[in-house]
Homo-oligomer: A and B are copies of this chain.
Amino acid sequence: MSLVYLVMGLALVQYLYFGIRVGGARTRYGIKAPATTGNESFERYFRVQQNTLELIVALVPALPLFAYYVSVRWAAGLGVVYLIGRFVYAVGYVNDPAKRGLGYGLSFVPVALLLIGGIVGAVRAVLTG
C-alpha cells in the first residue's frame, strides 16, 4: 500500500506547487488579495490550481479504495497517469485555455476509473458480507 501512499503524496505536492504558482502570478500580474479576477493570465494559473483541487478531492480517497478492493499496482499506475495528465493540463492551460482538453482527459479518466473500481469492490464486499 505504501506505493499508493507515495503516489498520493506526490499528487498533493504537485497540487500545492500549482498553488505556489498562483502566489507568484498574484505578484507578477498585480492582483491583490482578496481579488481572484481582473487579469486573464493570472486567472489561468488560478483555474489550474482550482481545477486540480476539484479533482484531487476525488483522487485522494479513490486511490486507497481501489488499492484495497482491486489492486495496489494498478492504483499506483493510474495515479502516475493522473500525475502526468495534470502536468500536461497545467502546461496546456497556461499556454491556451482552449487546449486544456488533453491534459484534462488524461487526469480525469484515471480518477474516474479508480472511483468506479473502488465502488464495484465495495458493492461486492457488501453483497458477500
Interface on A for B, CB 8 Å cutoff?
2-3, 5-6, 8-10, 12-13, 15-16, 19, 32-37, 40, 43-44, 46-47, 49, 53-54, 56-58, 60-62, 65, 93, 97-98, 100, 111-112, 115, 118-119, 121-123, 125-126
When chains A and B are docked, how far (Å) is the Cα of A33 from the Cα of B40? 9
Residue of B nearest to A119 (CB): B9
Complex CA–CA separation, A49 to B82 (angstroms): 21
A5 to chain B: which residues have CB within 8 Å? Answer: 65, 118, 122
Choice from B6, B60, B121, B125 contacting A61 with Cβ under 8 Å: B60
Q: List 13 A-B contacts (CB under 8 A).
A: A8-B61, A8-B65, A16-B111, A16-B115, A19-B54, A32-B97, A33-B47, A33-B98, A34-B46, A37-B37, A57-B57, A57-B60, A60-B60
What CA separation (Å) do A13 and B6 show in the bound complex?
24
Q: Which residues of B contact A49 (CB under 8 A)?
A: 54
